[in-house]
A and B are shown apart, each in its own frame.
Chain A
């Protein structure tokens, strides 16, 4: 074969290789320029479906947030309810608000987008030639990643002070359990179950009632939260209440025993009454009138905002005691 022939053959081979490179399916697709979390949904539909059910997705539109932030007239609230990518800030530093697609709340790009392109992943074997160019980022599973927002209301500080047996290794242990998805893919759940999930709330505390030489009492123990119960400043509150059965069999009104809450900064007349991780507190059951006898019912209510009426609160526990 002549030199010219060999050269022509090499050129043709090069042409074929180039053609294959251009037409190659997804794994070798050109890197995606990520501008919106909606670009993630096609390939990660199952994760997106979990996120759609989460309060991260709802962070910007949530009417409770709107009410408490005066419809975001308190603009500092925006930073965590429509954040720029956390990875573009130093670990643990707070985030700042983004300008576009705020309606998506805390979206895929908020947690995953890398400032220099591509996305961060907790998977050490991330397939880096996928269009979104994932790469392992140790920071993704650290508490600092969540602290960018969740420490504004002190939750991460509370976690740092929690006993080791309740701390786990970080936020994701409880709030992003492992998930095995179709096709054998393993990942973390993106529904972020927490204060809006009854089971998650009930796993945090244990209420007991009893009587001894000092009278009837109720105890509440923070058995399952690696942070205070309830956590979050201002917005969350839990109430212990008791009511007594009357002589005619009817029930008296609910009597407040204790409110658990960290007041907001301008509520200067209140102090922090949250129940720290691992702590137990005991309260005497207040009497209805003069006597503390008969049948008592004790309940624990949880409110996602402190002004919610009783009938809109979540009842975490109810116990009866004969005194």
Chain B
């Protein structure tokens, strides 16, 4: 009895212990949260657009009104505006266009002067006007002002205006279309396109510039402009909105950041290490929304995106969002990390890893992923569908069965990722 009952006891106790669910053991990576935002805001505290008083705003309002008159007085005030400090002027003009109560005519003048005299530091706040400004002509001025500072964020507005044929206010639309066609002369010139060769050529150039912008967050045939310290200060102020508990500032910041030139990527990546959970989450989400342009930029700059993002993997709070950003980059160098978490993570992490692999995996892990798909591994419907899409040819995507429990819009999102895979960096 002694030997056999001991063995029985051990066996039974062992069985009891083993019946507890196993918890995944995350790979250990060093935790390194930092006060990124706080430090950067301190560094740039004296730079960026200055605060402007109501008195200064009123002065510029008066100057703009008088500058629109003819004669010597008009000329005098135009000169005054042309010689004003560009940072102070930009800050005042932005305050005017951001004021809900301001008269439409004052806003129209302010946009026109921002286009002519705005400092590049205005870029984030002016980009945000694309979200709120409903006036067609103002949108043309915003787009052209951004364009001359190296941002194509307003190109979509120009395309929309030219593509729109009907409006409740046909006169305003007609005026905006006319201003847009005039404004196409300011697109970056190339070996094959110069302004003045007719609308068809201008239209094709607009599409070319827009395509390059969408893919790279760069303008074609243009030497990239180095951001000024004032401009960078405004970017950090935009990033600081990610900490907000109210969603509007967060939403505004993301709207701006996804439309900024590629030089902001490094700041957003740095922000993914911030000590605040919401800042990390939204910085990662912003990178995911930008998507493949971040991956392309990392390749072009030989930037170790995987290495930088890896540090954040130790934070369980934002891990799923981190995987989303990794996948959205389209870089296959992310696949080993993602594969490991697909095997060892919890349901959220496994789902995020599978989704990310759909967007970035190269050919190497396919055999292992295929084996997982046919195994009895417990996967969420989302993860199962993402993996199945990896093994489905584009031509037969419509035939792939959507797993039970997967919402149709969630299936559609993943189908879109599958189609976008063809554009991976």
Residues of chain A at the chain B interface (Cβ within 8 Å): 4, 7-8, 11-12, 14-15, 18-19, 21-22, 30-33, 35-36, 60-61, 66, 71-72, 74-76, 79, 84, 88, 93-94, 96, 98-103, 152, 265-266, 268
Q: Looking at B20, B131, B350, B410, which has the most chain A CB atoms within 10 Å of its CB?
A: B410
Within 8 A of A (CB), among B212-268: 245-248, 250-251
Q: In the complex, are the beta carbons of A72 and B9 less than 8 A apart? A: no
Q: Which of A35, A66, A93, A101 contacts B381, CB < 8 Å?
A: A101
Q: In the complex, are the beta carbons of A100 and B406 less than 8 A apart? A: no
Q: In the complex, are the beta carbons of A14 and B9 less than 8 A apart? A: yes
20 pairs from A and B in contact (CB 8 Å cutoff): A7-B2, A11-B2, A15-B12, A18-B9, A18-B15, A22-B16, A31-B20, A33-B23, A35-B378, A60-B407, A72-B409, A93-B245, A96-B281, A98-B320, A99-B352, A100-B347, A100-B380, A101-B380, A102-B382, A102-B410
Q: In the complex, are the beta carbons of A18 and B12 less than 8 A apart? A: yes
Instruction: Using A8-B5, A36-B347, A100-B348 as known contacts, say yes or no to A76 and B380 having CB atoms under 8 A apart.
Output: no
Instruction: Using A96-B281, A100-B382 as known contacts, say yes or no to A18 and B5 having CB atoms under 8 A apart.
Output: no
Report how far A221 CA is from B381 CA in the complex, Å: 48
Q: In the complex, are the beta carbons of B12 and A61 less than 8 A apart? A: no
Report how far A30 CA is from B248 CA in the complex, Å: 44
Q: Which of A8, A66, A265 contacts B409, CB < 8 Å?
A: A66
Report how far A101 CA is from B290 CA in the complex, Å: 24
B19 closest partner in A (C-beta): A30
Q: In the complex, are the beta carbons of B247 and A266 less than 8 A apart? A: no
Within 8 A of A (CB), among B344-401: 346-348, 350-352, 355, 378, 380-383
Instruction: Using A33-B21, A100-B348, A100-B351 as known contacts, say yes or no to A21 and B5 having CB atoms under 8 A apart.
Output: no
Give the chain A neighbours of B321 by CB distance below 8 A. Answer: 96
Q: In the complex, are the beta carbons of A22 and B12 less than 8 A apart? A: yes
Instruction: Give, as a whole number of angstroms, the nearest-CB distance from B405 to chain A.
Output: 6
Instruction: Give, as a whole number of angstroms, the nearest-CB distance from A26 to chain B.
Output: 13
Report how far A292 CA is from B45 CA in the complex, Å: 63
Instruction: Give, as a whole number of angstroms, the nearest-CB distance from B329 to chain A.
Output: 17
Within 8 A of A (CB), among B6-24: 6, 8-9, 12-13, 15-16, 19-23
Q: Which of B131, B245, B278 contacts A266, CB < 8 Å?
A: B131
Q: Which of A18, A21, A98, A152 contacts B348, CB < 8 Å?
A: A98
B412 closest partner in A (C-beta): A71
Q: With contacts A30-B19, A100-B382, A102-B382 known, what are 9 further pairs, Cβ within 8 A?
A: A11-B5, A18-B12, A22-B12, A22-B16, A30-B21, A31-B20, A75-B289, A93-B278, A152-B247
Report how far A228 CA is from B383 CA in the complex, Å: 42
Q: In the complex, are the beta carbons of B21 and A15 less than 8 A apart? A: no
Q: In the complex, are the beta carbons of A100 and B407 less than 8 A apart? A: no
Give the chain B neighbours of A12 by CB distance below 8 A. Answer: 1, 5
Residues of chain B at the chain A interface (Cβ within 8 Å): 1-2, 5-6, 8-9, 12-13, 15-16, 19-23, 100, 131-132, 245-248, 250-251, 278, 281, 285, 289, 317, 320-321, 324, 346-348, 350-352, 355, 378, 380-383, 405-407, 409-410
Give the chain A neighbours of B382 by CB distance below 8 A. Answer: 99-102
Instruction: Give, as a whole number of angstroms, the nearest-CB distance from A31 to chain B.
Output: 7
A131 closest partner in B (C-beta): B21
Give the chain B neighbours of A96 by CB distance below 8 A. Answer: 278, 281, 321
Q: In the complex, are the beta carbons of B21 and A11 less than 8 A apart? A: no
Give the chain B neighbours of A7 by CB distance below 8 A. Answer: 2
Q: In the complex, are the beta carbons of B346 and A99 less than 8 A apart? A: no
Interface of A is mostly: loop
Q: Which of B6, B23, B351, B378 contacts A11, CB < 8 Å?
A: B6
A5 closest partner in B (C-beta): B1
A85 closest partner in B (C-beta): B348
Give the chain A neighbours of B19 by CB distance below 8 A. Answer: 22, 30
Instruction: Using A22-B12, A61-B407, A266-B132 as known contacts, say yes or no to A99 and B20 having CB atoms under 8 A apart.
Output: no
Report how far A66 CA is from B100 CA in the complex, Å: 28
Give the chain A neighbours of B378 by CB distance below 8 A. Answer: 35
Give the chain A neighbours of B406 by CB distance below 8 A. Answer: 103
Instruction: Using A8-B1, A8-B2 as known contacts, say yes or no to A99 and B16 having CB atoms under 8 A apart.
Output: no
Q: In the complex, are the beta carbons of B352 and A71 less than 8 A apart? A: no
B355 closest partner in A (C-beta): A99
Give the chain A neighbours of B407 by CB distance below 8 A. Answer: 60-61, 102-103
Give the chain B neighbours of A266 by CB distance below 8 A. Answer: 131-132
Give the chain A neighbours of B1 by CB distance below 8 A. Answer: 8, 11-12
Instruction: Give, as a whole number of angstroms, the nearest-CB distance from A116 to chain B.
Output: 11
Give the chain B neighbours of A98 by CB distance below 8 A. Answer: 320, 348
Instruction: Give, as a whole number of angstroms, the nearest-CB distance from B258 to chain A.
Output: 11
A74 closest partner in B (C-beta): B251
Report how far A322 CA is from B23 CA in the complex, Å: 72
Instruction: Using A99-B382, A100-B380, A265-B248 as known contacts, say yes or no to A15 and B5 having CB atoms under 8 A apart.
Output: yes
Give the chain B neighbours of A152 by CB distance below 8 A. Answer: 246-247
Q: In the complex, are the beta carbons of B247 and A76 less than 8 A apart? A: yes
Q: In the complex, are the beta carbons of B410 and A103 less than 8 A apart? A: yes
B320 closest partner in A (C-beta): A99
A38 closest partner in B (C-beta): B405
Report how far A295 CA is from B8 CA in the complex, Å: 91
A153 closest partner in B (C-beta): B247
Instruction: Give, as a whole number of angstroms, the nearest-CB distance from B156 to chain A.
Output: 14
Give the chain B neighbours of A102 by CB distance below 8 A. Answer: 382, 407, 410
Instruction: Give, as a whole number of angstroms, the nearest-CB distance from A304 to chain B.
Output: 20
Report how far A66 CA is from B408 CA in the complex, Å: 12
B15 closest partner in A (C-beta): A22
Report how far A93 CA is from B410 CA in the complex, Å: 26
Q: In the complex, are the beta carbons of B346 and A101 less than 8 A apart? A: no
Q: In the complex, are the beta carbons of B9 and A11 less than 8 A apart? A: yes
Give the chain B neighbours of A268 by CB distance below 8 A. Answer: 100, 132
Q: In the complex, are the beta carbons of B21 and A100 less than 8 A apart? A: no
Give the chain A neighbours of B320 by CB distance below 8 A. Answer: 98-99
Instruction: Give, as a whole number of angstroms, the nearest-CB distance from A6 to chain B.
Output: 11
Give the chain B neighbours of A66 by CB distance below 8 A. Answer: 409
B321 closest partner in A (C-beta): A96
Instruction: Using A35-B346, A76-B251 as known contacts, say yes or no to A99 and B245 having CB atoms under 8 A apart.
Output: no
Q: Which of B8, B285, B350, B409 contacts A15, CB < 8 Å?
A: B8
Q: In the complex, are the beta carbons of A99 and B351 less than 8 A apart? A: yes
Report how far A49 CA is from B245 CA in the complex, Å: 33
B407 closest partner in A (C-beta): A103
